[in-house]
Amino acid sequence: MKAYKFYLLFIMATILFACEKNLEDVFPTGTTTNPPKTDTTQPAVCTPPDYGDSVLCYQWQGGKDYKVSPVNNPGKGKYISTPEGLDIDGNTGVINVTKSESGLKYKVGFIREGYQDTCFTTVITSGINYLDGIHVLSDNDTLLLPVYNGNPTYSPVCGPNGSLNGCEFDDDDDDDNGNGSGDEPSAGFSCNAKNIRVDTKTGVISLKRSVLDGLFGTLNPSNGKTVNATLYYRLDDCSSGALRKIDLEFTYYSKLSDVPQGLINDINDILDGVLNLLFRTNKDKVANPRPPHIVVVANR
């Protein structure tokens, strides 16, 4: 019996020795049987573009377009952005700041050639924006406040309570800096001349005063009456007082119930997109938030 047990032990030891030898043949001494680690020296699926600064400041170039290129090289691929309004070359990532809408925050995405993943970075075009919205005057919602550098949390930027004191809103065709009329708006584009009451130091627009002074032509305009205007402005920020502009759209309704539901939905969609800045899919971009649509309602 003992001899039989010894024989079994001998057979088992031989099998184990053979297995060990076979393993060493496959994995030489000093290696591990665990899966090899990922090679971290390999390039990532994609690298987000870097524009050197998250805030792109428009600069006056004597009438030439001011463009900004990525300072890094993410490789070959396609560039996309959201919301609409950023003038970006889909092949090179070059942003034409002159032709882009100012005062907005954008997501710039890069899709590396041969891949489907998208890498994102955020850029802001310096300047002001006014958010789409419905303002009910009878609720004392009478002021339209400027948003600076894409930050929807209002705090005065220009004027006595702001950090920038040399701002000029509703600029006209006068030569402010003595360099000629090349960087001045054309005559007749003043918002105040159209009864849009803009504070020229702060950029705050009084909707109530604008209506009373005849923004819509009469104190009792018809529902859906629309007025378009362009506001020219200068900021003493990184743009060094370069002339910027923003188009505005004002629409009047007598009562809140008169506002079409489709218009309400459109405004909410734009606000959600501007505030969230999210892609739901690569093709699902936020609607163009320009011109901001300001709906003025007399009574709730």
pLDDT tens across 199-213, in order? 999 999 999 999 999
Instruction: For the domain covering 55-125, report its CATH number.
Output: 2.60.40
**287 vs 30, residue with greater confidence:** 287
Residues 185 and 255: their CA atoms lie apart, in Å, by 36
Residues 129 and 152: their CA atoms lie apart, in Å, by 9
pLDDT value at position 174?
55
pLDDT tens across 242-268, in order? 888 899 999 999 999 999 999 998 888
Four-point Cα dihedral 216, 219, 222, 224, nearest 10: 40
For tokens 């020296």, the residue is 41
Question: How close are the terminal C-alpha atoms of the chain, in Å?
Answer: 103
Judge if pTM exceeds 0.85: no
71-75, 112-116, 159-163, 186-190: range with lowest mean pLDDT: 186-190
User: Residues 214, 211, 130, CA angle at the centre, nearest 5°?
Assistant: 120
Given pLDDT bands bounded at 50, 70 and 90, which one contains residue 29? very low
pLDDT tens across 125-177, in order? 999 999 889 999 999 999 999 999 888 787 888 988 888 888 999 876 554 55
The ranges assigned to domains in the chain are 55-125, 128-299
Q: What is the largest CA-CA distance in the chain?
A: 117
Number of H helices, E strands in the chain: 3, 16
